[in-house]
Chain A
Amino acid sequence: MQLGFLVDLHLCMGCKGCEIACKVENHVPLSTWRLRVKYVDVGTFPETKRTFTPLRCNHCTNAPCERICPVSALHYIDNGIVDIDKERCIGCAGCVMACPYGAIYIDPHTQTADKCTYCAHRVASSMMPACVVACPVEANIFGDLDDVTSNISRYIQKNQSNIQVRKPERGTNPHHFYVNGGNVALNPLASERPEGHHLFGKMTSKMPVGGH
């Protein structure tokens, strides 16, 4: 079994329901996110467009975070999920530095690394991840990539010419796919972040983010 995710960006409307569901389900502290939806505005007024891109751990086959973790706190489980053992984590932040997707953060409460686990605890009970359940337009599609009859496999088959992953040049082999994602949506260097032009761009929590 190899679990994977697919997001159809034409369907996503940026409601952030998935973000909130994830926060509630996984008790994600303030100022940190396992899943978030990034908004990028393209064009010049009045010809503008806004793209919405849900971003989470890519659960790579060749995961840099798993490789760099000195204590195997980040590890693969049988269904292909890259899980994390927070009790074992020493907080070296090597995984944060290694992840090309910026998907890992240091939990200010536990002072350990944390990230999306595809809701491994729910999956173990045959439930869908919280973000999938919360999505009102079924833009999040989750399932077994090894099963050709699964919803995700059929979706990938149907959209073969329009499937992307983030940063394929890194050789991480992500199990998180996007349909209808453009360069602006998936490449962080394709959009600018001018000071004062985006919301929530600064950490506002008073809690310590690191041990420094």
Chain B
Amino acid sequence: MAAHEMLAATNAVVSLDVGLPGIVWPWLVTVNMWAKSIGTGVIFMLFMLLRTHPDSAKQLRFATAVVAFVFINIFLLFTLADLHQPFRFWHILVHPHFSSAIAWGTFMASTFLGLLTLLVLLGYAKKDETYDKVLLWTSILAIPVTLYTAALMAQCTARELWQMPAESAQMILAATLAGSAAMILLGGSKLTYEAKKDLGVVLGLSALMAFIIYMAEYIFGPQKAEEVAATLEYIKGDGQYAVMFWIGQFMTYLIPMLLVVLSRASKSEAILKLAALLALVGLFIVKHVWLMIPQLLPMS
């Protein structure tokens, strides 16, 4: 065996290559996921509140529909803005390829927006009975709408970090977290303290479960796959996204969990609102970090 063949591969250095493509899906995609979590999440929460606290929740029918409508439009707008050929978006409608989560997402999100538009109109016209019937179907559709991005991430075979079971759980939890946080802020004087307390429980539990999943991936992910280990180096030690990752974890999960407990102990709505605000802002940071880090790895 020649001497050079006995040298450790760890001494290998790329000496000539082309530039790495860098970030392909930028912050526009973060806005997409963040806005979608709010847009679907408030629908889930309204559906829950109309069953648990109907008297106060019924006053939020119109406002909730408007918030969901606005955030789903933001989601769609940023999805469009992220395309390199946005004026060809209609190609998905006439040449859909249904093995792609993007194609499914397009049709489901468009239908969802249609139902939200209907809810806004029904809420404005105060047709409560019809509103509630439409809300049922809107809530059911909100589940795949919020999940399709997880399917899309799972289809990114190159990005080992994004695994379907974990990402789908994170997407649902992001929706319940963002939805409960938005409803706490939206509730104002219309929602009773009891209703807000329930939303606080949803917020706290969503934060706890999402945090557990992130920590499980953080600790055990590198033990499973070489590429996951390399990806997570960006959020460990002095990694490029380490500070942002922990800011996100504290802002979105740890501090809101603590504040929810404190608000229950002190019966303080102000503390609950602070928890909601932190969770909403933090969610953007958490999603952004998780979107960026797999894109930093060289693929070839």
Contact = CB atoms under 8 A, between A and B. Distances in A.
A104 to B, nearest CB: 9
Interface in A169-201: 170, 172, 182-184, 188-194, 197-201
Given A192-B13, A198-B16, A98 B155 contact: yes
A92 B82 contact: yes
A21 to B, nearest CB: 16
Interface residues of A, number: 68
Contact of A49 (B4, B22, B103): B4
Contact of B17 (A100, A184, A201, A203): A201
Contacts of A66: 99
Contacts, number: 207
Contacts of A166: 300
Contacts of A44: 7, 11
A91 interface: yes
A132 interface: no
B16 A192 contact: no
Interface in A56-113: 64, 66-72, 88-94, 96-103, 105-106, 111-112
B25 interface: yes
A90 B300 contact: no
B104 to A, nearest CB: 9
Interface of A: 31, 33, 36-44, 47-50, 55, 64, 66-72, 88-94, 96-103, 105-106, 111-112, 166, 170, 172, 182-184, 188-194, 197-204, 209-212
Given A42-B13, A102-B299, A170-B157, 6 more contacts: A42-B7, A47-B4, A90-B88, A97-B159, A101-B158, A211-B82
- Nearest first, the 5 closest Cβ-Cβ pairs linking A and B are A91-B84, A102-B299, A191-B12, A64-B157, A70-B102
